[in-house]
Structure 1
Amino acid sequence: VVAADDGVMPQTAEAISHAQAAEVPIIVAINKMDLPAADPTTVRANLTQHNIVVEELGGDVSSVEISALKGDGIDDLLELISLTAQVEELTANPKAAAIGTVIESQLEVGRGPTATVIVQRGTLSRGDALVAGAVSGRVRAMFDENGQPVKTAGPSAPVLLMGWDDVPSAGDMFEVVKNEKVARQMASDAADQIRSQELTVPTATERLEGLLEQLRTADHSELNVILRADAHGSLEAIRDAVVKIGREDAKVQIIQGTVGAITANDVMLAEASQAVIYGFNVRPDSAARRAAKDQGIDIRTFTIIYELLDDLESLLVGQLAPDEVESFLGVADVRATFRAPRYGTIAGSFVTEGEINRNARARLVRDGVVIYDGRIASLRRFKDDVATVATGFECGIGLENFRDIKEGDTIESYQVREVART
């Protein structure tokens, strides 16, 4: 969905990247056609920069103009979706045991665990035993999109289900099974498998070493990269330089390049496409850091372009990790600033994750962009100098030779250790 007045925004480009990586059919809905500033012609032209060529420009991607506010064009969009499904032969057997996807889940007062699901095959009926991941249940009640109770739901129908033993996870597949005993056993087996996987998820270093081994042994190597930068100028400069790095037998493929902080969506795309995330003068947000740790995704950040390019070239030819490895320690939000004669600007901060270490390195991040990278000159709790400040505590932070600190900034604490190349 693209706004007719705004065009292709960063989140739209991100959605396009995900769809292209998944190799699924794309339909472009140009929304907000009711606005005076609507310009669908420019939108269609802008889409070509993202390898989306609509039929009006000689391509094979269908598009339709709509107004979600007034309802204009919605019937045309639904007809286009139906036609695409027919062309792609996306069919489902309504007589089979139901299978579908959990779209959303929650714990509701008076209802217990509920989940909104969409049926993708078969027909779901009240009383069916089912399992979704590590959660089982029996359908006690179903409600359609209008909140009305229904007894059955066929392919493509979204329904709210009651009767789960626990809250299932959004994104999990559900399936109807013979009875509740079978459902509980399958859920138990899935829970055991999840626990086992949690113990064996590769670290970012292990995943990277595996990728490097593939690059070393492949006849033709290709390194997938997700690139984030602080500005469009930086992004384009890196793109142009990356083209020169590639060789006939080894190429860098930038599957997504955008401006701004590294997000959890970048991590999801990296996991799906076996990519390495590179950031120039930007940092991952807290959700991205957690997701990267859970999935073992390598995030590599730089403040000097040639160092980023050198690292990228080293990976491409299959060399092992760089001499320096960064370890994240903690992050603090700047909630106020004040002046101190000895240290200049002091950041009145609250530690939200990990710990701030007086002897570690520090970087100041503003709107996802690295403003300062250096050392902590002063770390205090009230009037006392301290070595560390843990999560949940306030502190005053002074940065070495830096005064441009503003409320809303974040200060990250990290260490750099040297490792031998192998």
Structure 2
Amino acid sequence: MRLPDGKGASIRLRRGASLADFAEKINADPAALVQALFNLGEMVTATASVSEETLQLLGAEINYDVQVVSPEDEDRELLESFDLQFGDDEGTAEDLAKRPPVVTVMGHVDHGKTRLLDTIRRTNEGAGEAGGITQGIGAYQTQVDVDGGERVITFLDTPGHEAFTAMRARGAKSTDLAILVVAADDGVMPQTVEAINHAKAADIPVVVAVNKIDKPEAAPDKIRGQLTEYGLVPEEYGGDTMFVDISAKAGTNIDALLEAVVLTADAALELTANPDMDAQGVSIEAHLDRGRGPVASVIVQRGTLRVGDSIVVGDSFGRVRRMLDEFGHDVEEAGPSRPVQVQGLNGVPGAGDNLLVVEDDRVARQIAAQRDARKRSAMQAKSRKRVSLEDLDSVLKETSTLNLILKGDNAGSVEALEDSLLDIEIDDEVQLNIIDRGVGAVTQTNVTLAAASDAVIIAFNVRAEGKATEEANAEGVDVRYYTVIYRAIEEIEQALKGMLKPIYEERDTGGAEIRALFKSSAIGTIAGCMVTDGKVKRNGKVRIVRDGNVITSDAKIQSLRHEKDDVNEISAGYECGMVLSYPDIQVGDLIQAYEEVEVPRT
């Protein structure tokens, strides 16, 4: 089974490709690739999904330059095979029309992002949030009077808690401009810096809202100085970032902030889109509604989305059965920058998945099926633990594994929870394995899977439905309910640490010196000792030290007597006789008593 020499040739492979896929590309026998990888110290079957690093390692061995196609390129090539393109406006410059800016509100938790949106919308979106933390992404439009004309702004409400980094990052990628909310009485915090980094990564302009200026301890000038260090220089300092001092609670300067947003968008961006083409957009959030089925919140980026259109969103597809605006009113069509809730999909798409209108349901189904297959292969390759010959022995030994099933109220929450759990730092002797995740209530199917795989079900903002609770009780399946994400992360981390094998630490409890030896035909050698410090206990563990060297470290005091009485322990300053489990002792040997204490895992 000779392998061909690639002579530096480049080959392209999809994410999660198998050795069989690799072999097909280079016209080789898959078994030869399995053998080649085995010789490199890794064991993989021909049909298993393989990680990007392994594919490149094997390619280098047989002189091929392996290029793993990025998810974006993969999707672009898939759409091109259906004569579709995503991300381009069709038509000429005359077909383009101005569109409203899409604005993300970012900042540290409790700095007033939701209160600001409440004030702008004159609604109370945050009233139902557990712990006062925004737990999902919503999109809303508001009208602003600028220079005597009505302008529309689309707002994206991104969560503030650090566990939602992935969702917030996607919010930044689907937006034109960011409002950075910083509390004037608190200053720049970790999530403030994180938000700045997301905005920079997405290359979008930033307007800074210095909030809570109505508080006596507010120091807006200090905020300006702090943000200068992160590249946000106020206009009054000669920079190009607009700062507006506001009070979301009192409603102070809200109009000035909205005007700053429009002015910044006009100055820094050219916001146009073709409203007459087939719609393209992005899924902001999605959840499973008991009465309405899968519901996706989307923002149309170009074109016009209409009721009845065949659409594909990520690996979900369907026909737009109904569209609702942010107030729950029915909408027949949605143009560029318009946020709507879409019903009619066959499943729950992920946050950040792109939306595409296609010619008919058949094409939508085919694209979704291929995306789903590629996504599964990529996930298998990502989750598969690489086994090398060096660590085969440790892999074969029994390791503790905590299996989890994640259920949440929307796709973004489940993804954020999964990312946070997988980021928990824990020793190699314990593994965290997420065997299933989904949106919606905990079902009997989830409970059955949990029972079969000894898994714990984590339910975030959802409950068990129907007979799932009865079955969970009958099968002994642990279903944990949470409404605040960091409590779930905290408890899982504690559970993982509890599964680790205990660590024991030796702590010295006392010492004695052997002064004389007595022979007894009944019990052997008796050591006449003086306890020099601490205490020595019967059945306690001891080390025997001779001339500074440890003779044995796991001896035991089998018998302990003071004068003619058997005792349990002897304190410093008293003489005693002891029989040790280690017989080879001499006068002058030092006995160090110790006990093993379990040390809590940190």
TM-score (structure 2 length as normaliser): 0.37
Q: What is the aligned partner in structure 2 of residue 17 from structure 1?
A: 197
Q: What is the aligned partner in structure 1 of residue 292 from structure 2?
A: 111
Contact map agreement 1:330 1:351 (CA 8 A) in 2? no
Contact map agreement 1:129 1:183 (CA 8 A) in 2? yes
Counterpart of 2:272 in 1: which secondary structure?
Answer: coil
2:301 is equivalent to residue 120 of structure 1: yes
2:158 is equivalent to residue 57 of structure 1: no
Counterpart of 1:201 in 2: which secondary structure?
Answer: helix
Q: What is the aligned partner in structure 1 of residue 478 from structure 2?
A: none
Q: Which amino acid in 2 is paired with 1:356?
A: M
Task: State the Cα distance separating 1:6 from its structure 2 match.
Answer: 1.2
Q: What is the aligned partner in structure 2 of residue 415 from structure 1?
A: none
2:376 pairs with one of 152, 170, 195: 195
Distance 1:130 1:94 in 2: 17
Task: State the Cα distance separating 1:33 from its structure 2 match.
Answer: 2.9
Task: State the Cα distance separating 1:156 from its structure 2 match.
Answer: 1.5
2:293 is equivalent to residue 161 of structure 1: no
Task: State the Cα distance separating 1:355 from its structure 2 match.
Answer: 6.9
Task: State the Cα distance separating 1:166 from its structure 2 match.
Answer: 0.8
Distance 1:327 1:286, change over 3 A: farther
Aligned Cα root-mean-square deviation (Å): 3.4
Task: State the Cα distance separating 1:77 from its structure 2 match.
Answer: 2.7
Q: Which moved more, 1:114-123 or 1:22-31?
A: 22-31
1:327 pairs with one of 428, 437, 441: 428
Counterpart of 1:181 in 2: which secondary structure?
Answer: helix
Deviations 1:129-188 (A, max 9, x none): 111110011111111111111111122211111111111111211111112221111111
Contact map agreement 1:106 1:113 (CA 8 A) in 2? yes
Task: State the Cα distance separating 1:192 from its structure 2 match.
Answer: 1.2
Task: State the Cα distance separating 1:44 from its structure 2 match.
Answer: 0.8
Counterpart of 2:366 in 1: which secondary structure?
Answer: helix
Task: State the Cα distance separating 1:25 from its structure 2 match.
Answer: 1.7
Distance 1:64 1:202, change over 3 A: same
Q: Which amino acid in 1 is paired with 2:223?
A: V
Aligned positions, number: 245
2:501 is equivalent to residue 358 of structure 1: yes
Aligned 1:59-208 pairs, distance under 5 A: 59-87=239-267, 88-201=269-382
Task: State the Cα distance separating 1:401 from its structure 2 match.
Answer: 5.7
Q: Which amino acid in 1 is paired with 2:303?
A: G
Distance 2:330 2:215 in 1: 38
Q: Which amino acid in 1 is paired with 2:263?
A: L
Aligned 1:376-387 pairs, distance under 5 A: 376=504
Contact map agreement 1:85 1:91 (CA 8 A) in 2? no
Distance 1:69 1:179 in 2: 49
Identity of aligned residues (%): 44
Distance 1:72 1:164, change over 3 A: farther
Contact map agreement 1:329 1:355 (CA 8 A) in 2? no
Deviations 1:297-353 (A, max 9, x none): xx8x9xxxxxxxxxxxxxxxxxxxxxxxx625159xxxxxxxxxxxxxxxxx99634
Gap regions ≥5 residues in structure 1? 207-284, 293-298, 302-325, 332-348, 360-374, 379-398, 406-410, 413-422
Contact map agreement 1:104 1:170 (CA 8 A) in 2? yes
Distance 2:203 2:418 in 1: 29
Distance 1:74 1:199 in 2: 48
Task: State the Cα distance separating 1:85 from its structure 2 match.
Answer: 2.7
Q: What is the aligned partner in structure 2 of residue 290 from structure 1?
A: 422
Distance 1:81 1:175, change over 3 A: farther
Counterpart of 2:349 in 1: which secondary structure?
Answer: coil
Contact map agreement 2:504 2:598 (CA 8 A) in 1? no
Aligned 1:391-406 pairs, distance under 5 A: none
Contact map agreement 2:505 2:598 (CA 8 A) in 1? no
Distance 1:357 1:35 in 2: 48
Contact map agreement 1:66 1:72 (CA 8 A) in 2? yes
TM-score (structure 1 length as normaliser): 0.51
Contact map agreement 1:330 1:354 (CA 8 A) in 2? no
Distance 1:122 1:66 in 2: 36
Q: What is the aligned partner in structure 1 of residue 215 from structure 2?
A: 35
Counterpart of 1:163 in 2: which secondary structure?
Answer: strand
Distance 1:68 1:93, change over 3 A: farther
Distance 2:262 2:380 in 1: 43
Distance 1:330 1:203 in 2: 12
Distance 1:329 1:65, change over 3 A: same
Q: Which amino acid in 1 is paired with 2:288?
A: L
Q: What is the aligned partner in structure 2 of residue 370 from structure 1?
A: none
Distance 2:365 2:418 in 1: 35
Contact map agreement 2:214 2:247 (CA 8 A) in 1? yes
Gap regions ≥5 residues in structure 2? 1-180, 388-416, 433-491, 507-594
Contact map agreement 1:132 1:174 (CA 8 A) in 2? yes
Distance 1:92 1:199, change over 3 A: same
Task: State the Cα distance separating 1:96 from its structure 2 match.
Answer: 2.1
Larger strand share, 1 or 2: 1
Counterpart of 2:428 in 1: which secondary structure?
Answer: strand
Counterpart of 1:38 in 2: which secondary structure?
Answer: coil
Contact map agreement 2:504 2:597 (CA 8 A) in 1? no
Contact map agreement 1:27 1:81 (CA 8 A) in 2? yes
Counterpart of 1:184 in 2: which secondary structure?
Answer: helix
Contact map agreement 2:429 2:500 (CA 8 A) in 1? no
Task: State the Cα distance separating 1:97 from its structure 2 match.
Answer: 1.7
